[in-house]
Chain A
Amino acid sequence: MANEKHFDEWYRLDNAAKIFPAVSTRRETNTFRVQVSLKELVEPEILQLAVDAILERYPMFKVRLKAGFFWPYLDYNSSPFYIEPMNTSVCGPIIPKENNGYLFKIFYREKTIAIEIFHSLADGSGAFGLLKSIIYEYLHLKGYKVTPDNMILTKDSRPTREEYEDAHNAYYDAKNRKHVPEKKAFGIKGTPIPEGHIGLISGVMSTKAMLDLSRSNQATVTEYLSALMMYTIYVTQIQYREHLKANQKPVKIFVPVNLRKHFPSKTLRNFSNFVKTEMYMTKSDITFSEILELVKKQFKEGMTKSELIRKMSENVAFEKNVFLKIMPYFIKKFALRIGYKILGLSLNTISFTNIGKIEFPDSMMPFIEDATAAAYSGKFNTVNGAITSFQDKFKITFTRSIIETNIEREFFRHFTNQGIKVEIESNFVEEY
């Protein structure tokens, strides 16, 4: 048996991953999608070969989720993995039983390759790492001359322990872990899309125009867009609804922060935290510039190193709590569900991820068209956004579990009103 050595391999769930198996359901799937379009049609047979080769390099993903007495864990999966043609479900539930036990799916369609992945395995950065490796191997197998240039993990390199580490456990600070209580956030209501489908709308703009626009407002792109997001929610959901304004919960934007940029970790698993912007929108004449100033201030406070460490340590401390530790998992599951309901989802109005610039080696650039990321939307966070940029394509992707599209509409009209060209892509969920 060639793979005998893998049989010993199993992984604890990392600190952030531990919550997801307990709280994921058909509607709250906790999956996300990363997607890259090539300039030519994808050949499924070659893609399958590339995936098979790369999964050996990424043992962290070649796993199944198993029940332990205290915690679930990831155990080596000896079953084969099969890619599949893309279907209409975006970030739908990943049912391991129907997927040979795997916690991710790889789709192909026309020129596009997409990975949908359960959040327990990795975060956006890790998933893009896997996707880049697969595309590299795919192009390599097709006979193109591509080089990894140290930016891509190829099948010839060897996995290192560092890539599997639970970085939260490595960098937390036991002294800086104060819990700061939070208020519940305003939730965007709407008509659910039947059958639990998720609508997806992307807007593609010029990266240069985006950078110029945010710089002319003395803000970073993330700050500018988060502020715009808040403003859009205000205009579409709150401004003209007195009954909401009177007794209103704060609008909160949850912006994940990639901690690999703040700590020297190379992990492929979850290693991100968040910064939140928060505002009580009780007035009827809030302006965009007012929100932008507030967002800039809150970003500055939230992104300080000690604040990031505090948020990370708070979670680690929760996990290290002795009572929680020794509680059998079937009881712990309920504790986690209740905790997540109170302290998790309902504290955010919307989650807005900036994955950032997607980089490929120069030799691969001519083959790549663009890159997309999308997160699931569920019952409470009915609209979510994700940003990727590839060369001069700046792509903002909204997913929604409701039929209404007024947030997306107002958001993109903000740019077209300023003369920035926007190109829309959609999965046309409303035509179903």
Chain B
Amino acid sequence: MVACGIPEIDHLTGGLPRGCLTEISGPIGSGRTSLLVSLLSALTKREESCALVDGRDSFDPCGAEEAGVVLGRLLLVRCTNIEQALRAADLLLHGGGFGLVALDLSDLPIASVRRVPLNVWFRFRRMVENTPTVFMLLEQESCAKTCASLVLRLEMKMARWRSSFKSGNDGNSQPTLLSGLQFNAEVVRCRFERAKSEDGSPGGLASFNSAASDFAAVDSYEGTRCSFESKPAWTELTKKRRKNSEA
């Protein structure tokens, strides 16, 4: 299991399973990319190699680096259509050796993603099985059906704005700063059991039950929800600059 770097999600799911297909679905602006970047950051910092198949070429490496992603350990495949993306994911999974292979179909039309035959997802699931790779699928709607071991549904809850300075006399200055976004996450499907903490409360990293990896779903966590918050990259940069100036 791999912690994705967002405590709330990790508590909710117990971590993302290796050797499984994990689906992150949600509309645009629902925090899928933030979750992906957080996972990339966690894995690349541990010197694991990651691959991102970008279905619509929408990845922002500048923001990713600010979020802590080691870009040198990230293999980015920029695609223009779903066929290319599926082919690239297939090749990368076949090649093996990656800690994470993320297939980002978020910006592709839902209709084209729906048209992907189920046997493609089944094939991906079989390819990633018994490997230490986390295969993550990002999309607007869940489409891998039973092939996914973990399905998370995300949506945006609210944007947080805060006043940073007083409004100017001319009334033109903006008295707000984007201080973060809040998202809701819901476990739609979960095929593994989560370990409990010593005190019995949920929160430990999940232990993947290989016996339950097939179609016997462990649905005790399905429907559970959580909220998490992300912060803009500039807040971290400001902190760093402050630290540097103090030093």
Query: Does A associate with B in a complex?
Result: no
